Chain A
Amino acid sequence: MAPQRELHGLNWLFFFAADLQTGFGPFVAVYLTSHSWTQAELGLALGVASASAILAQVPAGMLVDALRSKAVAAAAALVAVGASAMLMAWSPALWPVLLAQSLQGLASCMLNPSLTALTLGLVSAAAVAERLGRNARFAAIGSAVGAVLMGVCGTFVSTQAVFWLAALMCVPALIALRSLAKRTQVPAPAMVAGPVREAVRDVLLDRRLLAYIACTMLFALANAAMLPLAAAEITKRVDEKASLIIAACILVPQFLVALLSPLAGRAAGQWGRRGVLLVGFCALPARAALLAVVTDPMWIIPIQALDGLGGAVFGVITPLVAADISGRAGRFNLRLGILGLAIGVAATVSNIVAGVIASNLGAQTAFIALGLVGVSAVLMVGLAMPETRPRVAADSGFGSLYPHPSEKAG
């Protein structure tokens, strides 16, 4: 286990990196609308942002894999996200915003994989599952704090100030990253530093990865449109407190992710990935069914708590499965990139299709459709997803990775 101080560094790194990225996303539309953007221009900017965040996934993953120092990759990505936030704040005109949005899309594709790869190089293989849980915890706290800070900033200062604030978060993130750079060697890190030795073809033909891609796509297809759809329903039904209820619908799941992620990581380490994945995925159809039935907006908040359960499991298991399959010198970031691409495409389709269903057949039908996709996601995990937790790895040459509970001495 790495010294405590370094792990604190990782906590802060994930906290500030998530904080930094909260300023983007849906808030961009609010900001540009307040700067006299037409609907056509706004659609173009948001389209460029999501396209770059999806298309850059695989190239960014390969780039991070090729770089010897994941810390340099992470630092470059942090600076790029900070710079695009500053560009957004400085000049809300078409071309600077398009540049900032595509830069941010590319950088965020590099940031999260490189931070996770950095983690794998810092902790022993046995501690990976729980450490990924802690990463997810601090990322969730970071985005919750970021959402509150930026919501307050946008309401009481200006929509522009939100982006200056986001850019400012880059500084503590870089300081936290620097504290990790002077790292002491872990005897058997989950991933060795340096370039990878694995053919791309082997990555793509791996049945375990293909099965998990199918699971994540179904998850994202069912999950992505649920909160926006619920939020739209809340604004239709509630008059004055709509913003507060929507804020709670964003924050409550984040606090649950913060609470549950380390537990999910520990459980995945002890009992395997599949069981944890099944529990987390079951939250998805349950949430969709409840959203389809419940009409009182106040009850949407506790239902959204289920989003926290699903989010915690998904956020921990995704990098864990990629790490399991990649081994010590595999193409970990390429795998995360492929998964990111799959999630991005599925999430986009989810929002479009659910939007069409909701406007033609009503929100209730859309929730039922999302719920059915959620059921198929659970079935996919149950039927197609193999357990990826490494067995006692005699053949890997560096001792047992994750000892089975029955073989654990005390």
Chain B
Amino acid sequence: MQIPTLALALSASVTFVVAAAAQQPSPPPLVLPAPAPDVPAGNPAPAPIVVPAEQVAPVELIGLLGYAVVDARGTELGRIVDLLADAQGRVRAVVVDIGGFMGLGNRKVAVAWSALRFAAGDKGPVMSIVIPPDRLKSWADYIAGRPVAILGAPDSGQ
């Protein structure tokens, strides 16, 4: 088993489009007005910069930090506390805080991004982990700064 060590923790709250745009057409991109030219009069003005943008309904997007993930049967497994991305910009894994009662006995495990399934729900996207919960509960702890064992990654035996 090869353990990827390139993973780096994203500390900011990262928002992803998870209810894929394929399901419904996204609104047309808005063309932002170009910034007011800060050049003396007389010189030719630079061409306006077009930055594409879009507007998405809140139920189609979620902030992943603190978001609950469920197992295949819909029972809550835990909450996402961090995302791990590599130098190629791919999100490789999510760190999920699982188990415990009132904060005692909680553990963090890294689960491959590819092991997550997404579906639309009433209050926003529903994220489920397809890995059997017993595999998840017995998986190695995620400890920042240590080699990360990602469960559900193609090379982790799943």
Contacts and interface: CB of A to CB of B under 8 A. Distances in A.
A26 B102 contact: yes
A154 B105 contact: no
Interface in A178-235: 227-228, 231-232, 234-235
Contacts of A25: 102-103
Contacts of B103: 25-30
A189 B75 CA distance: 56
B156 interface: no
Nearest to A247: B101
B12 to A, nearest CB: 8
A247 B81 CA distance: 23
B104 A228 contact: yes
A238 interface: yes
B59 interface: no
Contacts of B101: 151, 231, 242-244, 246-247, 250
Contacts of A36: 13, 63, 65-66
Given A150-B102, A240-B133, A242-B137, A235 B66 contact: no
Given A239-B134, A359-B141, A246 B11 contact: no
Interface in A239-270: 239-240, 242-244, 246-247, 249-250
Interface stretch (B30-38, B48-56, B92-100): B92-100
A243 B77 CA distance: 11
A244 B107 CA distance: 16
A353 to B, nearest CB: 16
Given A33-B81, A246-B105, A250-B104, A235 B13 contact: no
Contact count band on B: 20 to 34
Interface string A101-117: 00000000000000000
A320 B98 CA distance: 41
A150 B98 CA distance: 19
Contacts of A29: 103, 106
Contacts of B98: 235
Contacts of B99: 235, 242-243
Interface string A20-36: 00000111111001111
Contacts of A236: 107, 137-138
A234 B106 contact: no
Nearest to B143: A359
B144 A39 contact: yes
Nearest to B98: A235
B25 to A, nearest CB: 29
A37 interface: yes
- The 6 A-B pairs of least Cβ separation, nearest first, read A26-B103, A231-B105, A235-B99, A246-B101, A36-B66, A36-B65
Interface of A: 25-30, 33-40, 147, 150-151, 154, 227-228, 231-232, 234-240, 242-244, 246-247, 249-250, 359
